[in-house]
Amino acid sequence: MLPASAKIPLKQLHRQSICIVRGNRKKDEESGTDVVEGTDEWNHSKAAVRPPDQLELTDAELKEEFTRILTANNPHAPQNIVRYNFKEGTYKLIGFVDQLAVHYTQAGNLIPKDSDEGRRQHYRAELAAGSQESAKLIISEENLEEDEEPKELEAEAGSQTDVPAAGAVEKVTEEEMMTPKQPKELKLTNQFNFSDRASQTLNNPLRDRECQMEPPPRTNFSATANQWEIYDAYIEELKKQEKTKEKEKTKTPVAKKAGKMATRKLTSMESQSDDITKVSQAAKIVERMVNQNTYDDVAQDFKYYEEAADEFRDQEGTLLPLWKFQNDKAKRLAVTALCWNPKYRDLFAVGHGSYDFMKQSRGMLLLYSMKNPSFPEYIFSSESGIMCLDIHVDHPYLVVVGHYDGNVAIYNLKKPHSQPSFRSSAKSGKHTDPVWQVKWQKDDMDQNLNFFSVSSDGRIVSWTLVKSELVHTDVIKLKVEGSTTEVSEGLQLHTVGCGTAFDFHKEIDYMFLVGTEEGKIYKCSKSYSSQFLDTYDAHNMAVDAVSWNPYHTKVFMSCSSDWTVKIWDHTIKTPMFIYDLNSAVSDVAWAPYSSTVFAAVTTDGKAHVFDLVINKYEAICKQPVVAKKKNKITHVQFNPIHPIIIVGDDRGHITCLKLSPNLRKMPKEKKGQEVQKGPAVEIAKLDKLLNLVREVKTKT
């Protein structure tokens, strides 16, 4: 009775909107009270059936009325659209958003009557109708004839006239329909000869995609262009040109000729030497690589080889020969000086000259790198033999050399000249005898470079480089004590002592030691020019080298041609340790890594390495290092960081040797204690030794 949609339990009614309830009630009213009651009951009974997930609500809640407002807004349309407004150059909110939602579109096929297509179709239809009519006339005539016949027949048939007439009419209509086809060839579709098959594939839903880019960056540009602007611009341009011309003029008169020559040379040489100069850097690297490959085993030894036999040789070490450096040009010149470069630890400088008084020839300064043992990095030659050299600590490209003729010179490695940058001369106070040692000092107060030199003429001179000129200052004149003789007129003649070596104290700046040919060592101060602070009767023959201990501030060492090496404490007049090496000792050097290790080289070609901690009385290594015994070793130097020493001989060869582990022993740590490193430890080490010796001395 009631429509299915009305089967809504009372409780739910209140949640639905509007219409359905009314419809229900109306029906009830119409059908009468009886029915109403019945329906109510029925409804109630229906109401008893509740779905299990229905909300449970109280009566009050049930009676609540909810209003819903239906609007015509499209829920899918965006609520705030922002578009970039080019006129204002900002993003603007569009207030009115299109709410139209299209659910279904179909393209229809109605065309207006008055349009072109419409008129064409009408015309075609008329034509078709026209032909039909003509056909009709023909057919109708035929039919009339036909009709008469059947009518006659029909007259007989009687009641069946309708049907045959109808049938005839039908035929006629069919014929009508069929005949117009033939003249016009219009295929009219009917269910007897035409069948339509159609299918609809799934149309993918369409979706709009939009994207908006950032507007490209823009900038404004404005200016004025009129006569005076143009004029001003041109005047400015002319001025600029004039300025550049002036600058060129000031440069050209000086450099013009040189420039021309250079350009001419370049142009002529370019074709030939172009390639070589450009490839110089690469060629250098290749040369080093070739050397490394050739001396590959030596390089490996240098880096990694640790003498395994040292474990068995208690307290003895060896020197492993590594590279040999020599140069043809310096073949007959003795190595007179060796110095490691303080900055580039593989670079060292070698001074060549001659110790022979009679045969004096030229000198050479070569700088070798360990990376290229076959050829020196820098070559400088000089007229007089080089006797000593030193490299500046802060400016590792400045090398000062002292010559046999008493001159000193400074070479600048940065500049390509083969001539020294600065040279002393007879005018500027060169020494009158060979310069035996030179040492750089700290820059003086005016930031000028300065160095000291000592020579056989008894003068210790301080040279300062003032505005590209060497200025000398006599610091001390060495006097042989006790030899001042009085001449009648009251003048005092001093016999000048000849200085052969000196060394500056590491910490006490003004104090330095000078060794002389007489075998005495003087402790002097830079401030006192006539008096010595102390004198030590060191040796019987000329002192060849003096050297302060790098760690201990009181200890120094000296060696001499009287076959001895002596270690001193500068507060005590007698040496602490004396070593006799059976041959004239030409050079001695402390090791940079330990306060108790030093090396001495002798003229019989042997190198002696001592470690006072291990053995106070003997060398822990005595090894011949030069090929022929006739070669006398002249100098030795420790490398500041690598465990190697370089040894120069009087044939111009330099040999590089690696110290075996026993020679570089650090103090054994007691179990549990940390190994301490650093200068303090070294000093303490040496102190201990010295105390032992001093005690012995005091006892005796």
Amino acid at 443: D
Instruction: Kindly state the tokens that stand for 698.
Output: 């005091």
Among the residue ranges 225-233, 320-328, 447-455, 587-595, the one whose residues contact another protein (CB under 8 A): 225-233
Nearer to another protein, 67 or 226 (CB): 226
User: Nearest approach, Cβ of 247 to another protein (angstroms)?
Assistant: 20
Positive or negative, the Cα torsion across 327, 328, 331, 333? negative
Answer for the pair 443, 485: CB distance below 8 angstroms, yes or no: no
How many residues bind another protein (CB under 8 A)? The answer is 19
- Told to check if 237 binds another protein by CB under 8 A, we report yes
Q: Pick from 55, 101, 138, 238: which binds another protein (CB under 8 A)?
A: 238
Among the residue ranges 230-238, 509-517, 664-672, 677-685, the one whose residues contact another protein (CB under 8 A): 230-238
User: Nearest approach, Cβ of 91 to another protein (angstroms)?
Assistant: 18
Which of 542, 507, 537, 513 has its CA nearest to residue 526? Answer: 513
Q: Pick from 49, 155, 202, 225: which binds another protein (CB under 8 A)?
A: 225
Nearer to another protein, 202 or 223 (CB): 223
- Told to check if 230 binds another protein by CB under 8 A, we report yes
Nearer to another protein, 89 or 205 (CB): 89
Q: CA-to-CA distance for 146 and 337, rounded, in angstroms? A: 150
User: Nearest approach, Cβ of 230 to another protein (angstroms)?
Assistant: 8
Nearer to another protein, 201 or 220 (CB): 220
- Told to check if 240 binds another protein by CB under 8 A, we report no
Q: Which residues, in sequence order, are bridge partners of residue 496?
A: 479
- Told to check if 84 binds another protein by CB under 8 A, we report no
Count Cα neighbours of 564 within 13 Å in the Cβ-side half-sphere. Answer: 16
The CA–CA distances, whole Å, from 130 to 80, 136, 140, 156, 182 equal: 62, 10, 15, 38, 14
Q: Pick from 105, 109, 212, 226: which binds another protein (CB under 8 A)?
A: 226
Q: Which residues, in sequence order, are bridge partners of residue 455?
A: 435
- Told to check if 86 binds another protein by CB under 8 A, we report no
Nearer to another protein, 78 or 215 (CB): 215
Q: CA-to-CA distance for 79 and 95, rounded, in angstroms? A: 9
Q: Which residues, in sequence order, are bridge partners of residue 422?
A: 410
Window 554-573: residues binding another protein (CB under 8 A): none
Q: CA-to-CA distance for 40 and 370, rounded, in angstroms? A: 117
User: Nearest approach, Cβ of 219 to another protein (angstroms)?
Assistant: 5
- Told to check if 231 binds another protein by CB under 8 A, we report yes
Answer for the pair 462, 439: CB distance below 8 angstroms, yes or no: no
The vertex-173 CA angle with 169 and 177, nearest 5°, equals 170
Q: CA-to-CA distance for 558 and 576, rounded, in angstroms? A: 11
Which of 598, 602, 588 has its CA nearest to residue 631? Answer: 602
User: Nearest approach, Cβ of 104 to another protein (angstroms)?
Assistant: 44
User: Nearest approach, Cβ of 214 to another protein (angstroms)?
Assistant: 12
- Coil vs helix vs strand at 443: coil
User: Nearest approach, Cβ of 335 to another protein (angstroms)?
Assistant: 59
The C-alpha torsion from 250 through 251 and 255 to 259, rounded to 10°, is -130
Render 281-310 in DSSP notation, one character per residue: HHHHHHHHHHHHHHTHHHHHHHHH---GGG
Q: Pick from 125, 129, 138, 235: which binds another protein (CB under 8 A)?
A: 235
Nearer to another protein, 227 or 267 (CB): 227
Q: Pick from 84, 234, 375, 528: which binds another protein (CB under 8 A)?
A: 234
- Told to check if 233 binds another protein by CB under 8 A, we report yes
Q: What are phi and psi of 160, to 5 degrees?
A: -85, 10
Among the residue ranges 54-62, 93-101, 172-180, 227-235, the one whose residues contact another protein (CB under 8 A): 227-235
**205-224 mask for another protein (x: CB under 8 A)?**
-----------xxxxxxxxx
Q: CA-to-CA distance for 179 and 186, rounded, in angstroms? A: 11
Nearer to another protein, 112 or 216 (CB): 216
Q: CA-to-CA distance for 135 and 144, rounded, in angstroms? A: 14
User: Nearest approach, Cβ of 84 to another protein (angstroms)?
Assistant: 15
Q: CA-to-CA distance for 197 and 151, rounded, in angstroms? A: 44
User: Nearest approach, Cβ of 212 to another protein (angstroms)?
Assistant: 17
Note the residues at the interface with another protein (CB under 8 A): 216-227, 230-231, 233-235, 237-238
